[in-house]
Amino acid sequence: MCSPQTILDKIVEKIVDTVIQSVVCHIRFVTCYKGNLEKLDAEKKNLEDQWQKVNEEVDKYKTLGEDIEANVSNWQTEADKMIREVEEFVNHKTNKESMQCFKFSCPDYISRYKLSKQAERKIGDIKNLTQKGKFDKVSRPKPPPPELLLSSSAELVSMDYMSFDSRESVFNKIMDALKDLNACKIGVHGPGGVGKTKMVEEVSKQVKKDGLFDEVVMAVVSQDANVSKIQMQLVGGLNPKPDVVTITDDNDRAKKLWQRLDNGKKNLIILDDIWHELNLTTIGIPIKDRNKIVITSRNRDVWKNMEMDTEFQIKVLSETEAWALFKKKVGNSVDSPELHDIAKEVCKECQGLPVAILIVGGALKDKEKYVWKNALEKLKKSMLKKIEGIDPKLYNSLKLSYDQLSMDAKSCFLLCCMFPEDAEIPIDELVRHCTARRLLAEKQDTLETVRDAVRTVVDTLKTRSLLLDDTNKNVVKMHDVIRDVAVSVADDDKAILVKHGVHEWPEKGTYESYLAISLRSKTIHEVPNKLGSPQLHTLLLDCINPT
């Protein structure tokens, strides 16, 4: 039997061991603080590597037209936030390493202790997040578009695109040309914002419904066209897809695409919004046998050497058609005696351009008479700005709508023009930018409240026809004409410099005053040692390479 003294000794020994272990544990935070910071930096780099891998996979499958899984998008947002948190933690905390205790020369061990303890906690969090980023798959095929209920083959059914005589006539002619064995290359031209893309989209839906072709694929070409981007869009629309994901050479990819389309079936290829002459063979498009191609452009001269078989022009809406579309957007309030005459004049200032009509109508819907009068005055007196391929009146129409937006909506709208032309813009990507750049006027406490605020702004922009819906509710699009004008507005305000498809870094003196810069290039491989841009808070650099 143990004596009371023995029992007491054992109790004291246990207490001392526990205290020593606790002290050693806490001392370890002080002595290992440098090691913990190094481990944290290493784990951050691992997370950055995984984040980069996931981003590359996401970009690749977006190009193929697939929808990104929600858990992948959420992980991208979470990882981006974690990386920025760690960078901020290190930048703000490491300076305490050299702090001294009071006025003496001994190091500030309390700060080192806290720093090391926080770093160790973050190491665990970042390891878990890196592991979560190892996905089996990042995307899924897009669901097929809903069937259109068409009362006749020429009726165009859409929220903002009505069955006007001028559109119905062109629609019928294109459909007839697609049935004509002698017409393989069909051109559709007209000014920016007149409805060319909408026309060929409706044609695509109709030929699918009527079963005129075995396969219909479409690619948006845009100003900064490159062969690989066009090829990957076409591949994304085919089923089954040719195996080109691992191919990096445009010529090899063209051979695969050619073999896939040269299959004896009836194929319709639509190339929307071309700005320069295209070599169809280089892309991998065989125009022979039963294949047909429809090409749209703002300028019909771009295809003068492409030997088009027939072409059609989409003109602006007639005065009657323009007024009908304007009323549809604004509502019956324009028929009131108080607004009718002013509304008619405002509509005329839109020059029959559907995009301008929808933008101005969205901006003035439910507004008082004095707002209408002020808008009419601005539309009449504004300086006409020249942008290639765009009616000058369209710039004034969009600027009018832009000026009436809240600061949050303006920031989000200009942010969208930093993305490539005709790109799907993930709302989570907008959330990341708004969080990192603190673009929202009212401070948000959580990521969820930021997301809610951004979605609210996006809904406002869609109501104003400044952004477009997509089949995927988690992304939005910006009409190419609206983006062109948005880029110009951003440039005027020295807010954002957007240069896509450039071959070299902008000249010194042309970019230093901007708040944000977005560059896309095949040939720029490095940036200047010193940018000399004291106000710059965002720099987006993108090497145009879908693979």
In a domain, 20, yes or no: no
- Domain ranges, residue 479: 407-543
Q: Which of 387, 383, 367 is nearest to 375 (CA)?
A: 367
Of 255, 279, 313, the position where a domain reaches its end is 313
pLDDT tens across 68-89, in order?
888 888 898 888 888 888 877 7
CB 203 within 8 A of CB 161: no
The b/e string for 263-276 (b: 16+ C-beta within 10 A; e otherwise) is eeebbbbbbbbbbe
On whether both 199 and 239 belong to a single domain, the answer is yes
Burial class (CB in 10 A: 0-12, 13-18, 19+), 388: exposed
| pLDDT (0 to 100) of residue 172 | 92
pLDDT tens across 414-426, in order?
889 888 887 889 9
Q: Parallel, antiparallel, or unpaired: how do β-strands 475-476 and 425-426 relate? A: antiparallel
On whether both 297 and 342 belong to a single domain, the answer is no
Q: What average pLDDT does this structure show over 159-181?
A: 82
Return the structure tokens found at 118: 């926080």
pLDDT tens across 461-502, in order?
988 888 888 878 888 988 888 888 888 888 877 778 888 777
Global confidence as pTM:
0.64
CB 368 within 8 A of CB 339: no
Cα 354 from Cα 50, distance rounded (Å):
45
In a domain, 450, yes or no: yes
Phi, psi angle pair for 47, to nearest 5°: -65, -40
Collect all residues with Cβ–Cβ distance below 8 Å to 306 and sequence separation of at least 6.
Answer: 185, 277, 278, 280, 295
In a domain, 8, yes or no: no
Provide the β-strand partners of residue 67. Answer: 140
Of 402, 425, 459, the position where a domain reaches its end is 402
On whether both 349 and 481 belong to a single domain, the answer is no
Of 402, 419, 439, the position where a domain reaches its end is 402
| pLDDT (0 to 100) of residue 34 | 67
Q: Which of 256, 247, 258, 308 is nearest to 286 (CA)?
A: 258
Start-to-end CA span in the chain (Å) = 79
On whether both 412 and 397 belong to a single domain, the answer is no
Return the structure tokens found at 266: 């009836």
Considering the chain, what percentage of its residues have pLDDT values greater than 90?
A: 16
Cα 403 from Cα 486, distance rounded (Å):
12
| pLDDT (0 to 100) of residue 156 | 32
Q: What average pLDDT does this structure show over 386-400?
A: 72
On whether both 40 and 134 belong to a single domain, the answer is yes
The CATH number given to whatever domain includes residue 390 is 1.10.8
What string of H, E and C letters represents the secondary structure of 181-242?
Answer: CCCCEEEEECCCCCCHHHHHHHHHHHHHHHCCCCEEEEEECCCCCCHHHHHHHHHHCCCCCC
Provide the β-strand partners of residue 100. Answer: 107
Indicate the helix (H) or strand (E) that contains 167.
Answer: helix 165-179
DSSP string, 462-488: HHTTSSB--SSTTEEB--HHHHHHHHH
Indicate the helix (H) or strand (E) that contains 83.
Answer: helix 70-93
Q: What average pLDDT does this structure show over 350-358?
A: 87
In a domain, 105, yes or no: yes
In a domain, 4, yes or no: no
On whether both 422 and 323 belong to a single domain, the answer is no
pLDDT > 80? residue 256: yes
| pLDDT (0 to 100) of residue 101 | 47
Mean pLDDT, the chain, whole residue set:
79
Total of domains in the chain: 4
Q: What three-state secondary structure class fits 80?
A: helix
Residue 225 or 266, more confident = 266
CB 204 within 8 A of CB 268: yes
In a domain, 415, yes or no: yes
Other C-beta atoms lying within 10 Å of the C-beta of residue 129:
20
pLDDT > 80? residue 220: yes
Return the structure tokens found at 210: 């009527």
DSSP string, 400-423: HHHHTS-HHHHHHHHHHTTSPTT-
The CATH number given to whatever domain includes residue 193 is 3.40.50.300
Q: What average pLDDT does this structure show over 137-161?
A: 48
| pLDDT (0 to 100) of residue 192 | 83
pLDDT tens across 359-376, in order?
899 889 989 999 999 988
On whether both 125 and 169 belong to a single domain, the answer is no
Among 161-170, 255-264, 401-410, 411-420, which stretch is predicted with the lowest mean pLDDT? 161-170
Cα 401 from Cα 465, distance rounded (Å):
10
pLDDT > 80? residue 143: no
On whether both 84 and 130 belong to a single domain, the answer is yes
Please report which confidence band the pLDDT of residue 177 belongs to, taking 50, 70 and 90 as the band edges: very high
Cα 87 from Cα 67, distance rounded (Å):
31
On whether both 331 and 468 belong to a single domain, the answer is no
Q: Which of 393, 399, 327 is nearest to 365 (CA)?
A: 327
DSSP string, 504-517: SPPPTTSSTT-SEE
pLDDT tens across 56-71, in order?
888 777 766 677 888 8
On whether both 433 and 393 belong to a single domain, the answer is no
pLDDT > 50? residue 149: no
| pLDDT (0 to 100) of residue 323 | 92
pLDDT > 50? residue 254: yes
Residue 146 or 54, more confident = 54
On whether both 179 and 306 belong to a single domain, the answer is yes
On whether both 484 and 374 belong to a single domain, the answer is no
Q: What three-state secondary structure class fits 4?
A: helix
pLDDT > 60? residue 9: no
pLDDT > 90? residue 193: no
In a domain, 156, yes or no: no
